[in-house]
A and B are shown apart, each in its own frame.
Chain A
Amino acid sequence: MISGLTPLAVTSVTTSVALTVSMGLVLVAMIVWLARVEDIRSYVPASDIGGGAGQTEYGHEEKPGGITRWLTTVDHKDIGVLYGVYSVITLAWGGLSVLIMRTELLDPPATLIQSTTYNALLTSHGITLLFLFGTPILAAFANYFVPLLIGADDMAFPRINSIAFWLLPPGALLIWAGFFIPGIAPSQTSWTMYTPLSIQQPSPAVDLMLLGLHLTGVSATMGAINFIATIFTERAEEVDWANLDIFSWTVLTQSGLILFSFPLLGSALVMLLLDRNFGTTFFTVGGGGPLLWQNLFWFFGHPEVYIIVLPPMGLISIILPKFSGRKLFGFKFVVYSTLAIGVLSFGVWAHHMFATGMDPRLRASFMAVTLAIAVPSAVKTFNWMTTMWNGRLRLTAPMLFCIGFVSLFIIGGVTGVFLASIPVDLVLTDTYYVVGHFHFILMAILTAVFAGVYYWFPLYTGKWYQRGLAKWHFWLFMIGSNLTFFAMILLGYAGMPRRYATYNVDIGPVAQFTDLHQVATLGAYLIGLSGIIFLWNIVQSWLEGPPVQSSDPWELAEDGLLTNEWQWFDHQRETAITDGGAESEETDTDTDDNSEETA
């Protein structure tokens, strides 16, 4: 028994340990059960391409079939698919949680759910989408495509790659534990976990959440080390620094940011756990002080923003030129601006703390760096637009989402400049304006993800998605996003604070709040609907879509824009096709598969 430990602390530690152990047992039981189950519908690929070219008689020698393959794989493409499937599940929960919240906010008082439930949902929404969706979905793309783009056989450390993924599902279960373990309240710390509130909350769900976050942090760090090693050492002979593709550049920069920020978050989380359970004083008033947490958290937290925005920028930089019929304009400047953002992102964290009473001289310097980081972001935007200028735009689903990205990113960026200005920030911080601003950026990130999913869909499934549904997905998503988050910008100007379960105030402009919240909720439903359409499209097309008939499904060769991953795809198809006679039909099927999409 450690001296100075209160009985309460002991019980909470023992419950935490008991919960963790039982969680582990549940996981093992699930794996055993899954391994015993037969007839799970899973595709056995021909060679190691994602199910694209049908069955062959020698596809089974390389990998075991069924569920065993997925539990034991160390292939970067399979791990990419695992990351992707996992991210879709977490995205669904993140979206569902916010739809419940937005329904509650249709009227001022608490009618649908209690404040405690609302606070639990807002905590889960933020943490799920940033840690369990944002970072993993980018790892999905990076895992699948970086080795293909740089001509590597696989990642530098395939097994570490596998471990990095398998840390995530237990992490998610720990983070969500409060929702499904009876008898403990879900964590209500908000995703920023500000002390002393996060120390004060008695529920063991908070401890479990911190442990889960720790796992996701370890996972992200492992992945980052792997990507850095891969991009430095595994490149093919003909790929040097001068012609390394833009997506790999952004992943490399992102990995650098992860390497410097996630371990710091891990340390801060451990300190918080110690404060909660062992009576240390890292973040208490007598000890390090409550603001120490904010400094440590945002020193991780702001780079995190760029961790989840840089690879999407890379996706846009690689996809947008393909459908503009010309190469990316100012490639060098896009790379430089990526590196500039990477460096500057570590010098802006205190702009989240302008109202905390920090030294005014320090504040001014953080304002300066925050304004400076807007320059490279704007430069990228201009480069994308100039790439389209004088091009031949084909408004396919990936292209539409690229354009959507640029338009949302412009609004997100401009609203951010207002928050960089300290006096304006003092009025707007902690209001819905901030929520609106960063969701414009996050929605831009989502559009880039969708662009990537649609662009490479033929490559990793060998099938075509349904283009009509993709269009519906795009328009509903864009209209919904603009409605929701523009309403939030206006709510912020009206003074509505964020993280409010109710807004039945007696003097404030309740009628205006109500109207704007209803608009935001309508937009959220549209986004939700677009998500359902997306999910249906992806799943149904993967199972039953028309097979791709060409190894250049987007007809990139005629513009001279065919990149490595499609050459790999071509090679895969050649080895998979046993009968060379199928090639002659290509031209007919191409015209209906991949005709120009006109609005």
Chain B
Amino acid sequence: MNRVKQLLLGLGFAVIGMSIVALPVAAAGYDSTTEALIQSLNLKLLYVAVPITILVEGILIYTVWRFRNNDDPKPTKENRRLEITWTVATAIILLFVGVASYQVLALPAVTATPQVTDSEQANATEVTVVGQQFLWTFKYPEENVTSRGTLVLPANRTVYLNITSRDVIHSVHIPELGLKQDAVPGQYNLLRTTPTSQGTYQLYCAEYCGVGHSQMTATVKVVSYDEYQQWLEDQKQSQ
């Protein structure tokens, strides 16, 4: 029994060591506050999940290898303590997942609530995002600007996206900014984030919406504030 314990312990440490090396250390390179929060939570969960998965699968394979053609099977004995132990252990791990998720969930960059203070509103960019088969329209109500297929956002400023649909359900999905929210006809869903690095990102429709679903994409450009102002001016000229 002692040898088995030692072996398991060794196996466990080996697995944890391996997975720490193997996991992507992508702590840098987040492109928005939302993505930073969600991806770091995801990484936290991976650090727990990957070792556990490899360990359990390892024990499974070891069990098969060790006890195949074993000539004297021992009869099964009830072991209530063991049962309760692993039930509680599983519950504790899942409790950790729940608490960690809840802490991130409660932040406005993940779960947006309508803005409260005027100072926030003054500096924030508001965009109404309208999905329709099979096209995205972006309206800047304060600027009276409408853009089709291209969403331009200033970097390092709070952005509110008011998302709705004109026909069926669509979903705004910008994986590199960690954003997803369904566009449901008859209601407005709010997303709030602060893009932190300039660049061009892909916006997909993530809710199946018919024949053009996979072509219903848009471009998201995160630019400096000056460029953003310039872009708005150009749009006003051309409209």
Minimum C-beta distance from B80 to chain A (A): 8
Map CB proximity to B onto A284-298 as digits: 1 under 8 Å, 0 otherwise. Answer: 011001110000000
Indicate if the CB atoms of B169 and A390 lie closer than 8 Å. no
Would you call B10 an interface residue if the criterion is a C-beta within 8 Å of the partner chain's C-beta atoms?
Answer: no
Minimum C-beta distance from A482 to chain B (A): 11
Indicate if the CB atoms of A391 and B73 lie closer than 8 Å. yes
Residues of chain B in range 51-81 having any CB-CB distance to chain A below 8 Å:
52-53, 56-57, 59-60, 63-64, 67-76, 78-79
Would you call A532 an interface residue if the criterion is a C-beta within 8 Å of the partner chain's C-beta atoms?
Answer: no
Indicate if the CB atoms of B214 and A503 lie closer than 8 Å. yes
**Neighbouring B residues of A536 by C-beta, 8 Å:** none
Would you call B145 an interface residue if the criterion is a C-beta within 8 Å of the partner chain's C-beta atoms?
Answer: no
Would you call A395 an interface residue if the criterion is a C-beta within 8 Å of the partner chain's C-beta atoms?
Answer: yes
The CA of A406 and the CA of B59, in the complex, are separated in Å by 11
Indicate if the CB atoms of B214 and A115 lie closer than 8 Å. yes
Indicate if the CB atoms of B184 and A291 lie closer than 8 Å. yes
Minimum C-beta distance from B7 to chain A (A): 13
Indicate if the CB atoms of A393 and B70 lie closer than 8 Å. yes
**Neighbouring B residues of A327 by C-beta, 8 Å:** 75-76
Contacts A389-B63, A424-B38, A596-B69 given; indicate if A495 touches B217 (C-beta within 8 A): no
Contacts A385-B63, A423-B37 given; indicate if A501 touches B176 (C-beta within 8 A): no
Indicate if the CB atoms of B208 and A197 lie closer than 8 Å. yes
Would you call B17 an interface residue if the criterion is a C-beta within 8 Å of the partner chain's C-beta atoms?
Answer: no
Contacts A200-B168, A290-B186 given; indicate if A424 touches B211 (C-beta within 8 A): no
Indicate if the CB atoms of B208 and A190 lie closer than 8 Å. yes
Indicate if the CB atoms of A501 and B67 lie closer than 8 Å. no
**Neighbouring A residues of B91 by C-beta, 8 Å:** 375
Would you call A497 an interface residue if the criterion is a C-beta within 8 Å of the partner chain's C-beta atoms?
Answer: yes
The CA of A371 and the CA of B94, in the complex, are separated in Å by 6
Would you call A232 an interface residue if the criterion is a C-beta within 8 Å of the partner chain's C-beta atoms?
Answer: no
**Neighbouring B residues of A119 by C-beta, 8 Å:** 208, 210-211, 213
3 shortest interchain CB distances as A-B pairs: A495-B175, A357-B189, A285-B186
Would you call A568 an interface residue if the criterion is a C-beta within 8 Å of the partner chain's C-beta atoms?
Answer: no
The CA of A406 and the CA of B63, in the complex, are separated in Å by 12
The CA of A199 and the CA of B95, in the complex, are separated in Å by 41
**Neighbouring B residues of A289 by C-beta, 8 Å:** 186-187
Would you call A475 an interface residue if the criterion is a C-beta within 8 Å of the partner chain's C-beta atoms?
Answer: no
- Cβ contact of B76, chosen from A326, A505, A506, cutoff 8 A: A326
The CA of A383 and the CA of B186, in the complex, are separated in Å by 49
- Cβ contact of B180, chosen from A411, A427, A559, cutoff 8 A: A427
Indicate if the CB atoms of A430 and B201 lie closer than 8 Å. no
Would you call B82 an interface residue if the criterion is a C-beta within 8 Å of the partner chain's C-beta atoms?
Answer: yes
Minimum C-beta distance from B153 to chain A (A): 15
Indicate if the CB atoms of B184 and A356 lie closer than 8 Å. yes
**Neighbouring B residues of A305 by C-beta, 8 Å:** none
Would you call B97 an interface residue if the criterion is a C-beta within 8 Å of the partner chain's C-beta atoms?
Answer: yes
Indicate if the CB atoms of A375 and B182 lie closer than 8 Å. no
Indicate if the CB atoms of B56 and A326 lie closer than 8 Å. no
**Neighbouring A residues of B178 by C-beta, 8 Å:** 426-427
Map CB proximity to A onto B189-218 as digits: 1 under 8 Å, 0 otherwise. Answer: 110000000001110111111111111010
Would you call A24 an interface residue if the criterion is a C-beta within 8 Å of the partner chain's C-beta atoms?
Answer: no
Residues of chain B in range 1-51 having any CB-CB distance to chain A below 8 Å:
35, 37-39, 41-42, 45, 49
By beta carbon, the residue of chain A nearest B90 is A378
**Neighbouring B residues of A286 by C-beta, 8 Å:** 186
**Which of A91-99, A215-223, A328-336, A587-595 touches B?**
A328-336
Indicate if the CB atoms of A507 and B219 lie closer than 8 Å. yes
Would you call A403 an interface residue if the criterion is a C-beta within 8 Å of the partner chain's C-beta atoms?
Answer: yes
Map CB proximity to A onto B165-185 as digits: 1 under 8 Å, 0 otherwise. Answer: 001110101011010111011
The CA of A505 and the CA of B220, in the complex, are separated in Å by 13
Would you call A550 an interface residue if the criterion is a C-beta within 8 Å of the partner chain's C-beta atoms?
Answer: no
The CA of A355 and the CA of B172, in the complex, are separated in Å by 10
**Which of B98-106, B114-122, B123-131, B225-233 touches A?**
B98-106
Indicate if the CB atoms of A385 and B60 lie closer than 8 Å. yes
Indicate if the CB atoms of B219 and A423 lie closer than 8 Å. no
The CA of A163 and the CA of B219, in the complex, are separated in Å by 55
By beta carbon, the residue of chain A nearest B204 is A497
**Which of A267-275, A413-421, A570-578 touches B?**
A413-421
Contacts A197-B209, A374-B90 given; indicate if A427 touches B175 (C-beta within 8 A): yes
Would you call B111 an interface residue if the criterion is a C-beta within 8 Å of the partner chain's C-beta atoms?
Answer: yes
The CA of A387 and the CA of B77, in the complex, are separated in Å by 10
Would you call A69 an interface residue if the criterion is a C-beta within 8 Å of the partner chain's C-beta atoms?
Answer: no
Indicate if the CB atoms of B169 and A196 lie closer than 8 Å. yes
- Cβ contact of B45, chosen from A393, A418, A559, cutoff 8 A: A418
**Neighbouring B residues of A285 by C-beta, 8 Å:** 185-186
Indicate if the CB atoms of A375 and B167 lie closer than 8 Å. no
Indicate if the CB atoms of B38 and A367 lie closer than 8 Å. no
Indicate if the CB atoms of B110 and A426 lie closer than 8 Å. yes
Would you call A42 an interface residue if the criterion is a C-beta within 8 Å of the partner chain's C-beta atoms?
Answer: no
Indicate if the CB atoms of B49 and A417 lie closer than 8 Å. yes
Indicate if the CB atoms of A387 and B76 lie closer than 8 Å. yes
The CA of A210 and the CA of B73, in the complex, are separated in Å by 53
Minimum C-beta distance from A105 to chain B (A): 11
**Neighbouring A residues of B35 by C-beta, 8 Å:** 427
Contacts A364-B105, A499-B213, A507-B202 given; indicate if A197 touches B168 (C-beta within 8 A): yes
Would you call B239 an interface residue if the criterion is a C-beta within 8 Å of the partner chain's C-beta atoms?
Answer: no
The CA of A395 and the CA of B82, in the complex, are separated in Å by 27
Indicate if the CB atoms of A194 and B207 lie closer than 8 Å. yes
Minimum C-beta distance from B52 to chain A (A): 7
Indicate if the CB atoms of A328 and B181 lie closer than 8 Å. no
5 CB-based A-B contacts, threshold 8 Å: A379-B86, A388-B64, A395-B68, A410-B53, A427-B42
